[in-house]
């Protein structure tokens, strides 16, 4: 026999340019190398792809990766090729000639990784062809699509169980970012994985800082938040197409490189905006939830929700698009009573079955409850997904600035009585006017200035009352009656409060919208900032020449590594995380060049070498 094949760690270092494995990557890889099946559940950015990409280089034959998203496939193929890995994809976006070339590459054993869409793989001729070649492993990405319990069921995924019989000797790895225990069992069963070991990694995204603020002046609050994110890429989610358009236009006026994205825009416009988001630095994508699926950009620094998402699952998935590269990122959301009213109405009006509506409502309640938590927000999120955690994470709003609570018994009683006295026919705005003793046409028309509750709440501001009403709805003391145009109605739960039998603690909304000052993701010295910018510019030029997004050339973290260590030789560059042999050969020289130019401009150290 010739040389024994290299060890996984060697490949990790030489080809991928990383020092060590993350989490359970090493276990998963050795499992596959032993020819066994497994299911991997790892949050976004956890490093799932490496779990099959690396064994693909060590096992003989071609690894077949099943992925439903063509855009994502092309991204991965590009990224692999940059590492010097022989990868290609087979899908309908290729010409017949191109497909022929790929097939030949496989036939001549000149390919390590082949990405295919499920419908293509499942064609009889594709399966027959692959049976005649050597397949090293099957990787089934987005494996939750096979389960009706998952959130994105796809019919053709069901047919993937054929692989178990047709390729009995080939190990299969199924991967997903979100699957609760029930979905996990279902995936194993439906894909007919054999003796599959499940590798879970927990749901935590420690680098994402979660913040939820009451919505008072949403645009002002957003601007305040974005002030700490100049020159960074991010996504701002809005509920409606209209608010996407107006928010994008407004942010653009405020000097941000903001672009709109929603299903109402022409296909070309959407494509253009998406590719600008991927290829340019610091684009803010203002979007409906139509945007995001299959976006693999690692350096999204923030995800903003200007309106509440549907439930905690959606929130987790949408915010999960931030910080895939493991660098600090923000998930920031504003919400107010209007969101609560609107989501309740949507649940009521939905055409789903009663059973389904009940589930939706309870998911909405869980989300609202989570918005109002006073303990660690991250841990509350993780517990929702079944992770067993408590204590404080130190990287969420409630840990960084613990919210105050106050005894709101008296105020709540006033609020509830006023709802009652006005006949349970009005929304919060009018009831607050009555409480605060305001004058309005409506108040006069209904003679509400003659009620005993008129003006009894003048010691609280309108904002404070909004906060009180919001929390009363979230906690079930009031409910919104959509049959009556959103009137507030008292629920049986509030009897105890009204009779003075129970008390109520509410969360105090912060007076001003406080933004945590994370000046920027990387705290760089001024001269380092210059070099970083120069490296970024070079990266953009090289990326453009190669026709790939900048992060495919190098991640920010890798550029940062160059700034920190200022290598003076190619050999030193190899020590930086994210630089393997292929990338060194391709890009090492020009980056070294820039770094040495900066050393000339900034003679380091000599001036301030005075002993301390
Ligand atoms: P997922 O598919 O789980 O969302 P990816 O496979 O895209 O995550 O990996 C996220 C990022 O982490 C990628 O940029 C990848 O190159 C990087 N990465 C993966 N494994 C390691 C590792 N062992 N060390 C450093 N970076 C890693
Ligand atoms: Zn916390």
> pLDDT tens-digit profile of 228-240?
998 899 999 999 9
CATH of the domain at 554: 1.10.150.80
194-200: average pLDDT: 92
Q: Which ligand is nearest to the CA of 41?
A: 1
Q: Kindly state whether residue 163 falls inside one of the protein's structural domains.
A: yes
Q: Are residues 547 and 496 in the same domain?
A: no
107-123: average pLDDT: 95
Decide if 176 contacts 143 (C-beta within 8 A): yes
The number of folded domains in the chain is 4
Does residue 520 surpass a pLDDT of 70?
no
Q: Which residues pair with 330 in a beta bridge?
A: 209, 302
Q: Are residues 358 and 466 in the same domain?
A: no
Q: Rounded to whole angstroms, what are the CA distances from 95 to 5, 91, 121?
A: 36, 9, 17
Q: Are residues 70 and 190 in the same domain?
A: yes
Nearest CA to ligand 1 atom 17: 47
Query: For the ranges 172-181, 343-352, 390-399, 568-577, which has the lowest average pLDDT?
Result: 343-352
Q: Kindly state whether residue 514 falls inside one of the protein's structural domains.
A: no
| Residue where a domain terminates, one of 200, 233, 250 | 200
Residue 150 is predicted with a pLDDT of 60
Distance 244 CA to ligand 1 centre (A): 31
DSSP 8-class letter at 13: I
- Compute how many other C-beta atoms are within 10 angstroms of the C-beta atom of residue 23: 17
Residue 523 is predicted with a pLDDT of 62
Residue 218 is predicted with a pLDDT of 95
| Residue where a domain terminates, one of 385, 402, 419 | 402
Q: Kindly state whether residue 515 falls inside one of the protein's structural domains.
A: no
Distance 374 CA to ligand 2 centre (A): 10
Q: What does the mean pLDDT of the chain come to?
A: 89
Q: Please give all residues whose beta carbon lies within 6 A of any atom in ligand 1, as ranges.
A: 18, 21-22, 25, 42, 44-50, 298, 324-325
Q: Are residues 310 and 238 in the same domain?
A: yes
Residue 601 is predicted with a pLDDT of 56
Q: Are residues 398 and 284 in the same domain?
A: yes
Residue 610 is predicted with a pLDDT of 40
Residue 600 is predicted with a pLDDT of 60
Does residue 268 surpass a pLDDT of 90?
yes
Q: How far is CA 373 from the centre of its chain?
A: 21
In this prediction, residue 606 has a pLDDT band, given cuts at 50, 70 and 90, of very low
Express each pLDDT in 342-361 by its tens digit: 888 887 787 777 777 777 78
Q: Are residues 182 and 218 in the same domain?
A: no
Decide if 8 contacts 58 (C-beta within 8 A): yes
Q: Kindly state whether residue 524 falls inside one of the protein's structural domains.
A: no
Closest atom of ligand 1 to 325 CA is: 11
Mutate which of 50, 292, 327 to test ligand 1's pocket (most atoms within 8 Å of Cβ)?
50
Q: Are residues 56 and 30 in the same domain?
A: yes
45-72: average pLDDT: 92
Using a pLDDT cut of 90, give the percent of the chain over it: 67
456-478: average pLDDT: 91
Q: Kindly state whether residue 373 falls inside one of the protein's structural domains.
A: yes
d(CA 56, CA 85): 10
Residue 607 is predicted with a pLDDT of 41
Q: Which ligand is nearest to the CA of 17?
A: 1
Q: Are residues 322 and 421 in the same domain?
A: no
Does residue 595 surpass a pLDDT of 80?
yes
Mutate which of 19, 21, 47, 51 to test ligand 1's pocket (most atoms within 8 Å of Cβ)?
47
Q: Kindly state whether residue 223 falls inside one of the protein's structural domains.
A: yes
434-461: average pLDDT: 95
Assessment of whether the complete model's pTM goes beyond 0.85: no
In this prediction, residue 3 has a pLDDT band, given cuts at 50, 70 and 90, of low
Query: What range defines the domain where residue 577 resides?
Result: 529-605
588-608: average pLDDT: 73
Distance 200 CA to ligand 2 centre (A): 22
CATH of the domain at 388: 3.40.50.300
Q: Are residues 375 and 499 in the same domain?
A: no
């Amino acid at each position: 026999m010739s040389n024994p094949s290299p060890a996984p760690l060697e490949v990790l270092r030489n080809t991928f340019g990383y020092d060590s494995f993350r989490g359970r990557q090493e276990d998963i890889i050795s499992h596959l190398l032993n020819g066994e099946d497994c299911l991997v559940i790892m949050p976004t950015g956890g490093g799932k792809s490496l779990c099959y990409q690396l064994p693909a280089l060590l096992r003989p034959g071609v690894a077949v990766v099943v992925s439903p998203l063509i855009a994502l496939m092309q991204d991965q193929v590009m990224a692999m090729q940059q590492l010097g890995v022989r990868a290609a994809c087979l899908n309908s976006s290729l010409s017949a000639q191109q497909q022929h070339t790929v097939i030949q590459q496989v036939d001549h054993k000149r390919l390590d990784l082949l990405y295919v869409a499920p419908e293509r793989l499942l064609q009889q001729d594709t399966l027959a062809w692959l049976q005649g070649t050597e397949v090293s492993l099957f990787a089934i990405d987005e494996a939750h699509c096979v389960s009706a319990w998952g959130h994105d069921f796809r019919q053709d995924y069901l047919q993937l169980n054929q692989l178990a019989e047709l390729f009995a000797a080939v190990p299969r790895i199924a991967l997903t970012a979100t699957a609760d225990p029930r979905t996990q069992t279902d995936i194993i069963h439906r894909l007919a994985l054999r003796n599959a070991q499940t590798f879970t990694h927990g749901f935590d995204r420690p680098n994402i800082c979660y913040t939820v603020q009451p919505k008072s002046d949403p645009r002002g609050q957003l601007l305040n938040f974005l002030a700490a994110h100049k020159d960074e890429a991010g996504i701002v989610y809005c509920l409606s197409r209209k608010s996407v358009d107006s928010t994008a236009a407004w942010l653009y006026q405020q000097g941000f490189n903001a672009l709109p994205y929603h299903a109402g825009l022409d296909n070309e416009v959407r494509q253009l905006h998406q590719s600008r988001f991927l290829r340019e630095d610091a684009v803010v994508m203002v979007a409906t939830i139509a945007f995001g699926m299959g976006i693999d950009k690692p350096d999204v620094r923030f995800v903003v929700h200007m309106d509440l998402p549907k439930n905690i699952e959606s929130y987790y998935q949408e915010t999960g698009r931030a910080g895939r590269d493991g660098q600090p990122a923000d998930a920031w959301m504003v919400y107010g009573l209007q969101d609560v009213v609107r989501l309740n109405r949507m649940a009521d009006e939905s055409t789903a079955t009663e059973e389904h509506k009940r589930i939706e409502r309870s998911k909405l309640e869980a989300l609202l409850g989570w918005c109002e938590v006073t303990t660690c927000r991250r841990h509350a999120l993780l517990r929702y997904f079944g992770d067993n955690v408590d204590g404080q994470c130190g990287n969420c709003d409630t840990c960084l600035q613990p919210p105050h609570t106050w005894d709101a018994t008296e105020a709540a009683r006033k609020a509830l009585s006023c709802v009652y006295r006005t006949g349970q026919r009005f929304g919060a705005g009018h009831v607050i006017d009555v409480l605060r003793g305001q004058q309005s046409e409506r108040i006069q028309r209904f003679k509400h200035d003659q009620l005993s509750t008129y003006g009894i709440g003048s010691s609280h501001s309108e904002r404070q009352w909004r906060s009180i009403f919001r929390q009363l709805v979230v906690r079930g003391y009031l409910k919104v009656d959509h049959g009556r145009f959103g009137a507030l109605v008292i629920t049986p739960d509030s009897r105890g409060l009204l009779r003075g039998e129970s008390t109520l603690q509410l969360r105090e909304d912060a007076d001003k919208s406080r933004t945590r000052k994370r000046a920027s993701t990387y705290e760089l010295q001024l001269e380092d900032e210059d070099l970083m910018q120069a490296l970024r510019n070079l990266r953009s030029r090289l990326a453009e020449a190669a026709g790939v997004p900048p992060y495919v050339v190098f991640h920010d973290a890798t550029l940062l590594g160059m700034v920190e260590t200022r290598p003076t030789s190619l050999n030193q560059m190899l020590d930086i995380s994210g630089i393997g042999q292929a990338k060194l050969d391709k890009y090492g020289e020009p980056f070294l060049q820039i770094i040495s130019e900066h050393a000339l401009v900034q003679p380091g150290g000599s001036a301030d070498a005075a002993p301390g």
